[in-house]
Amino acid sequence: MDKTMAHIVELTTLDAPELDVYARLTEAQLKNKRHAEQGLFIAESAKVIGHALDAGYAPKSLLMERDKLETHADLLSRCGDVPVYTANRTLLAQLTGYALTRGILCAMGRKPLPTVEQVCGNARRIGVLDGIVDPTNVGAILRSAAALDLDGVLLSPTCCDPLHRRAVRVSMGTVFQVPWTRLGEHHSQWPDVLDSLKAKGFSLAALALDDRSLWVDDPVLKREPRLALLLGTEGDGLAQETIARCDYTVKIPMGHGVDSLNVAAASAVAFWELRVRQ
């Protein structure tokens, strides 16, 4: 381990208060938003941690299996003089509440979110997520947004935190590559706050099941110079009040009597079809 400045701490007990950031990381136990309140998030796997470092996020500490220390020596050398808490897999699972299949976690400091103006800037295609609460879906949508060249993503006040541990993991670190921020601070501002996007020159397209909807590959949509694609909650989709604020409703043609796709899958189709062609 000569090539790293990291401070290796061998765990023999799980009582140290500095380990609390890694305690109780299962899905249900993360709903209290304690990491966000502490200004932290958890990055999981060497690849995701590497993307976060590339994006300028600062590591505070790491938790990893003892036999992964040499494997990840290069990554540790990028983290500077931060504590690296290590033990065997069984002991670590007692702390986190699940087995570390990728063998490494990193507590990292959050950065201030950009403003809506900074995210929109010169953007031509953005995603707007309204009330999507499943971190798996949010992470998958952010990954599609990065891969399919969306310029940014805006989230309603009720949307899941993209830096939720599972969202970060599912995104494979692409959550650090796509500009995103909250659109409005309180749910009471929704959907009125969508008018601010119209003022910036965006046409709003709601993905919704509606007999009047345009197909997602309609040339009218593709010709829009600035387009915001709205995606709604996993269960009910977008509220009628939100749809009414939009310039278009958009649907993906379905076969075999299927009425809709999972919101993450639908986002990938829409982002691909309505991407800006050079």
Map out the domains of the chain as residue ranges. Answer: 7-109, 116-273
Of all residues in the chain, what percent carry a pLDDT higher than 90?
69
Residue 183: is its pLDDT beyond 60? yes
Q: Could you tell me the pTM of the whole model?
A: 0.90
Query: CB of 228 within 8 A of CB of 271?
Result: no
User: Do β-strands 104-109 and 59-65 pair in parallel, antiparallel, or remain unpaired?
Assistant: antiparallel
Give how far Cα 211 sits from Cα of 28, 220, 250, Å. Answer: 38, 17, 10
What's the rounded Cα separation, in Å, for the pair 200 and 195? Answer: 9
Which pLDDT does position 101 carry in this prediction? Answer: 63
Residue 6: is its pLDDT beyond 80? no
Confidence of residue 2 (pLDDT cuts 50, 70, 90): very low
Q: Which CATH class is domain 116-273?
A: alpha beta
What does CATH list as the number for 7-109?
Answer: 3.30.1330.30
Q: SS3 of 269, please?
A: helix
What's the rounded Cα separation, in Å, for the pair 81 and 195? Answer: 47
Closest of 121, 154, 118, 149 to residue 231, by C-alpha: 154
Query: CB of 153 within 8 A of CB of 182?
Result: no
